Amino acid sequence: MTASRLGRAAGLIAATGKLAARALERAARVIRAPLPVLYHVSIIALSAAIAASLPVTFSFAAGRLLAYWSLVQNERLFLISTEIVVAFVLILV
């Protein structure tokens, strides 16, 4: 091979390497770009799922509260101690 052919081959290899490096940089940008969007979409979906489950959760809790309330509504000591505990929790928070 002559020197000119070797020079052309080296130039072609260098150009191909630069092209491959640019393609890899673009691919990395394409992969990194949607990650914040996917994060926000997943947070919104989780929030929507929690909001959709609240009515069921509250109705379950209300039914349980009514069942327990019928047991403790006349227990003065229990009610006063519960009020004191809730007051301490609110003070500490």
Residues 82, 45: Cα–Cα separation, whole Å:
37
Q: How many domains are there within the chain?
A: 1
Half-sphere exposure of residue 27, counting CA atoms within 13 Å on the CB side?
A: 6
Q: State residue 85's pLDDT score.
A: 94
pLDDT band at 74 (very low <50, low <70, confident <90, very high): confident
Tell me which residue range forms the domain holding 43.
2-92
Quick check: 46 pLDDT over 70?
A: yes
Reported as a pLDDT band with limits 50, 70 and 90, residue 6 is: confident
Single-letter residue type at 86: V
68: which 2 tokens?
Answer: 């327990």
Can you tell me the mean pLDDT for 69-93?
86
Please report the DSSP string for 49-92 in residue order. HHHHHHHHHHHHHHHHHHHHHHHHTT-HHHHHHHHHHHHHHHHH
Question: What distance in Å separates the CA atoms of residue 45 and residue 86, rounded to the nearest whole number?
Answer: 33
